[in-house]
Homo-oligomer: A and B are copies of this chain.
Amino acid sequence: MELSCKSEYALLALLELADRYRSGEPLQIRQIAAQQNIPDRYLEQLLAMMRRGGLVRSQRGAKGGYILAREPWKITLFDVVTCLEGLDAQAKEVDVDLQTIEGSVICEIWQESYQAANTVLQKYTLQDLCEKRDARRQLDIMYYI
């Protein structure tokens, strides 16, 4: 479970959407991309995935854009990464039967390790992320003075 560009871009975008969430106004791809320095056509794909995954809602047409599908404290980082990377995760389960004993023993331990990582990601929500960011911003201002 490494931090790919995909996941990072997605989280940055969701962070922007979380900020905007209370207003109820949608936010455009272009704006998010400009704000966070993300290639816009790529971000488009990621947002489409997250829409299919039920994380965001889209509004088409003029004055359209994206809105968080539910409250920022109801979306965990685990939700995000599984939505993005989890689509091809089922494909790996194919040839488990023709594995050696050594292979399956190793595989089990990896599952356990994987599980531990996911538990951490389940602990944090977008809300938490926003708060951490704000706290960090305050801290940076203090240091600057």
- Smallest distance from the beta carbon of A82 to chain B beta carbons, Å? 13
Please provide the chain A residues from 95 to 118 with a CB less than 8 Å away from any CB of chain B in the complex. Answer: 100-110, 112-114, 116-118
Say yes or no: A1 contacts B101, CB within 8 Å.
Answer: no
Count identical subunits in the complex: 2
Tell me the interface secondary structure of chain A in the complex.
helix
Partner of A109, one of B108, B112, B124: B124
Interface residues on A, range: 35 or more
Residues on A facing B (Cβ under 8 Å): 1-3, 8, 11-12, 15, 36, 77, 100-110, 112-114, 116-121, 124, 129, 132-133, 136-137, 140
List of B residues within 8 angstroms of A8 by Cβ: 103, 106
